[in-house]
C-alpha cells in the first residue's frame, strides 16, 4: 500500500495533498452496473455513447489552444529540418536516424492536429505564420525541448476540468506522445531525460503567454483566444546547455543544472504590450505589486520572496525542499515554471488556475535541470 511505502521512508502525508478518506469503502456488497465492474465512474454507461465534441465554451477555448500548440509544433519540426543542412545536424551529433525521428514526430503532430480539428469542427484554428529564435541546430533542439514542455504542461493544467470527458480521452492520448517527444529532445540536447517524479500542470493563460510571442499572423477566421496574456518575464541568468559540450545521448549522470540557494536575476515587462497573432492581443495583469516568485514544479507551487526590486527588475533565491520530505526528489528540477506574484496563496495541482489573478509577470521557463 502507498501508506506502507511512505512509512518505510519515514515520511508522512502531512505536508502534501495526497491524504484522503474513503467513504465509498463498505464491508457490505453493493450493486454493480455490470459484471466485475464497481459502481461509480464517469462515462461508463452504455446507454450514453461518448460524444467527441466541446460541451462548453471552456472546452472549445481549451481545445483550440491545444490545437494552436500542435500546429506550431508541426511547423517547427519541419522548419528545423529544412533550415539546417545535413552537415550542420551531423556537427551537432544528430545523424540520419535522429533526423528521421524528428520527421516522424512532425507526422505525429499531423495526427494530433487532425484529431483536435475533428473534435472542434469547422471553426477550429488553421495553421499560422511563426517566428522562432533559432540560428543553430542546438538552438532548434533547445527550443523544441522547451516548446513541448509548456505544450505538455499546458494540457495537464486543464485536462481534468474539461466538460467533454470523451474529448479529454483523445487529448490525453495525444499529449502522452508529446511527453515522449519532450524527453527525446532533452536527450538530443544531452540533458538528463527525466529529472522529476511528477510533471507539473500550468493554466491556459500561462501556456498562451508562453506560446503567443511566436505566432506572427493567422487566418482571419481563426477563433480569438480568450485566455490572458501576462507580461513577459525573463530570467537573465537562466542555465543553458546550448553552448556547453554536452552531446546527444540516452542519459548521463548530470541530473540538475542549478542548485538551492542559487540567485536568480529577473526582469519583466509592464502590461500593455501588443502580442500574439495579427497584433490582436495585449498583455495585462489583475495583480497588485510584485512581492513573491512562485516556482511551479512537480506537485508543488513554492514561493520565495522577491528582493532587490528596482522598477521591473528583482532577484530571488532558488528554494530547497523535496517532494515528500526526507531524501525524496528535489522539488525544483527539470524545465519548470517561474512567475512573479503579488501574494502567496496555497494551491494544489487541481486548482492552479487560482494563481492567475495574482500573476504580475510570467511564466518564464527555468532550465533547472
pLDDT (tens digit, 9 = 90+) per residue, 92-108? 999 999 999 999 999 99
Residue of higher predicted confidence among 36 and 183: 183
State the pLDDT at residue 28.
61
C-alpha cell of 27? 464491508
Name the residue with higher pLDDT: 126 or 4. Answer: 126
Percent of the chain with pLDDT over 90: 83
Tell which wins on pLDDT, 11 or 306.
Answer: 306
User: What is each CA distance from 85 to 136, 137, 140, 141, in whole angstroms?
Assistant: 10, 9, 13, 14
Q: Could you tell me how far CA 36 lies from the centroid of its own chain?
A: 37
36 pLDDT band, cuts 50/70/90, is confident
Q: Residue 267: its pLDDT value, please? A: 98
> Which ranges in the chain are annotated with CATH 1.20.1260.10?
57-217
For 233-276, the pLDDT digits (tens) are: 999 999 998 877 678 989 988 889 999 999 999 999 999 999 99
The model's pLDDT over 149-166, given as tens digits with 9 standing for 90+, comes to 999 999 999 999 999 999
By the 8 A CB rule, do 73 and 151 touch? yes
Confidence of residue 26 (pLDDT cuts 50, 70, 90): low
Which residue would you say has higher pLDDT here, 3 or 364? Answer: 364
- Whether domain 57-217 has CATH 3.40.50.300: the reply is no
The pLDDT value given to residue 22: 52
Instruction: Determine the Cα–Cα distance for residues 309 and 315; give it in Å rounded to an integer.
Output: 7
Contacts of 53 (CB under 8 A, 6+ apart): 119, 120, 121, 164, 167
- When pLDDT is cut at 50, 70 and 90, the band that residue 172 belongs to is very high
The pLDDT value given to residue 218: 98
Mean pLDDT score across all residues of the chain: 91
pLDDT band at 10 (very low <50, low <70, confident <90, very high): very low
Residue 1's pLDDT is what? 38
Q: What's the CA gap between 298 and 323, in Å, rounded? A: 8
pLDDT, position 15: 39
Three-state SS string over the chain comes to: CHHHHHHHCCCCCCCCCCCCCCCCCCCCCCCCCECCECCCCCCCCCCCCCCCCCCCHHHHHHHHHHHHHHHHHHHHHHHHHHHCCHHHHHHCCCCHHHHHHHHHHHHHHHHHHHHHHHHHHHHCCCCCEECCCCCCHHHHHHHHHHHHHHHHHHHHHHHCCCCCHHHHHHHHHHHHHHHHHHHHHHHHHCCCCCCCCCCCCCCHHHHHHHHHHHEEECCCCCCCCCCCCCCCEEECCCCCCCCCCCCCCCCCCCCCCCCCCCEEEEEECCCCCEECHHHCEECCCCCCCCCEEEEEECCEEEEEECEEEECCEEEEECCCCECCCCCCCECCCCEEEEEEECCCCCCCHHHHHHHHHHEEEEEEEEECC
Amino acid at each position: 500500500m502507498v501508506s506502507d511505502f511512505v512509512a518505510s521512508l519515514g515520511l508522512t502525508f502531512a505536508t502534501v495533498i495526497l491524504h484522503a478518506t474513503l467513504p465509498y469503502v463498505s464491508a457490505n456488497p453493493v450493486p454493480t452496473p455490470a459484471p466485475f465492474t464497481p459502481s461509480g465512474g464517469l462515462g461508463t454507461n452504455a446507454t450514453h455513447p461518448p460524444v467527441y465534441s466541446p460541451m462548453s465554451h471552456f472546452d472549445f477555448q481549451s481545445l483550440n489552444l491545444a490545437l494552436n500548440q500542435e500546429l506550431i509544433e508541426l511547423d517547427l519540426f519541419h522548419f528545423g529540418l529544412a533550415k539546417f543542412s545535413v552537415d550542420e545536424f551531423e556537427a551537432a551529433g544528430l545523424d540520419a536516424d535522429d533526423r528521421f525521428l524528428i520527421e516522424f514526430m512532425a507526422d505525429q503532430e499531423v495526427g494530433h492536429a487532425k484529431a483536435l480539428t475533428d473534435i472542434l469542427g469547422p471553426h477550429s484554428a488553421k495553421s499560422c505564420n511563426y517566428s522562432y529564435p533559432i540560428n543553430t541546430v542546438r538552438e532548434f533542439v533547445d527550443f523544441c525541448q522547451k516548446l513541448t514542455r509548456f505544450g505538455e504542461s499546458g494540457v495537464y493544467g486543464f485536462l481534468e476540468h474539461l466538460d467533454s470527458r470523451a474529448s479529454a480521452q483523445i487529448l490525453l492520448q495525444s499529449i502522452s506522445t508529446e511527453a515522449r517527444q519532450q524527453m527525446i529532445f532533452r536527450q538530443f540536447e544531452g540533458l538528463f531525460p527525466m529529472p522529476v517524479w511528477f510533471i507539473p500542470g500550468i493554466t491556459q493563460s500561462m501556456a498562451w503567454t508562453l506560446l503567443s510571442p511566436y505566432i506572427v499572423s493567422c487566418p482571419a477566421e481563426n477563433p480569438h483566444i480568450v485566455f490572458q496574456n501576462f507580461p513577459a518575464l525573463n530570467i537573465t541568468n537562466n542555465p543553458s546547455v546550448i553552448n556547453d559540450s554536452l552531446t546527444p545521448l540516452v542519459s548521463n549522470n548530470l541530473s540538475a543544472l542549478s542548485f538551492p540557494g542559487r540567485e536568480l536575476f529577473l526582469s519583466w515587462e509592464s502590461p500593455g504590450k501588443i502580442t500574439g497573432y495579427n497584433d490582436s492581443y495585449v498583455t495585462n495583469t489583475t495583480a497588485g505589486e510584485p512581492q513573491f516568485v512562485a516556482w511551479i514544479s512537480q506537485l508543488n507551487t513554492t514561493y520565495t520572496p522577491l528582493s532587490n526590486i528596482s522598477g521591473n527588475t528583482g532577484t530571488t533565491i532558488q528554494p530547497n525542499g523535496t517532494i515528500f520530505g526526507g531524501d525524496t526528489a528535489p522539488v525544483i528540477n527539470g524545465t519548470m515554471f517561474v512567475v512573479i506574484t503579488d501574494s502567496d496563496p496555497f494551491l494544489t495541482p487541481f486548482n492552479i488556475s487560482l494563481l492567475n489573478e495574482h500573476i504580475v509577470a510570467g511564466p518564464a521557463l527555468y532550465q533547472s535541470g
